[in-house]
Amino acid sequence: MAKAKKSREGTVMVLGGGIAGVQAALDLTDLGYYVYLVEKSPAIGGVMAQLDKTFPTNDCSL
């Protein structure tokens, strides 16, 4: 896992590590920012990690 980088600038906090938070975090890194992804539970993934397949294509959700 990444180690904390003590920079004051160029960072964004994303609160909530479900699919929305994870996507926002990934996109922010691609846009040039360091991200703190804050999640209250012990793992990220949120409800999407509980799903097996997704509508309408029944693709794997992980």
Partner 1 sequence: MVEAGRSPNIEILTNTDLLSLKGKPGNFKADIVQRPRYINADDCTACGLCTEYCPRHQVDDYNEGLNLTRPIHIDYPQAVPATYYIDPRSCLHLTHETCQICVPVCQSKAIDFSQTPEEKTLEVGAVIMSPGFGRISEETLAKYSFGKHPDVVTSIEFERLLNPSGPFTGEVRCLSDNRHPHKIAFIQCVGSRDIGCDNGYCSSVCCMYAIKEAMVAKEHDPEADITVYYMDIRTQGKDFDAAQKRAEDKGIKFVRAKVADVMPWGNHLRLTYSTLDGKHSFEPYDMVVLSVGLESPPDAQKLADMAGFKLNKYNFCDTDTFTPLATSKEGVYVAGAFNGPMDIPESVTQSSGAAGIASGLIKKQRGKGIVHKSYPDEKDIGDDVRIGVFVCHCGINIGSVVDVPDVSTYAGDMEGVVYYTESLYSCSQDAQEVLKDKIKEHDLNRVVIAACSPRTHEPLFQETLKDAGLNRSLFEMVNIRDQCSWVHANEPDAATDKSKDLVRMAVAKARHIQPLPEQTVPVNKTALVLGGGIAGMTAASDMADQGFNCYLLEKQDSLGGNYKKLAHTKKLIEQVKKNKLITAYTNAELQQTSGFVGNFSSIITTGKGARAKEITLDHGVIIIATGASEHRPEAVLGNSIKYSKNIVTQSELAEQLEGKGKKRAPDSIVMVQCAGSRGDDLNYCSKTCCNTAVQNALKVKEINPDSQIVVLYRDIRTYGYAEDLYQDARQKGVLFIPYEMDNKPTISAKGKKLTVSFFDPILQDDITTNPQMVALSVGMVPEETDTLSKLLKVPVTADSFFLEAHVKLRPVELPVDGVYVCGLAHSPKPINEIIVQAQAASAKAAMPLVKGYVTVDPIVSNIDKETCIGCRLCTSLCPYQAIQMVKDENNRPKAETIVASCKACGICASHCPTFAISMGGFTNEQLTSQIEAFGKEITEKEKETA
Residues forming the site for partner 1 (CB under 8 A): 1-5, 7-60, 62
State the Cα–Cα distance between residues 30 and 57, nearest whole angstrom: 27
Residue type, 29: T
State the Cα–Cα distance between residues 25 and 30, nearest whole angstrom: 9
Residue type, 48: M
Min separation Cβ 4 and partner 1, Å: 6
Min separation Cβ 58 and partner 1, Å: 7
Min separation Cβ 55 and partner 1, Å: 4
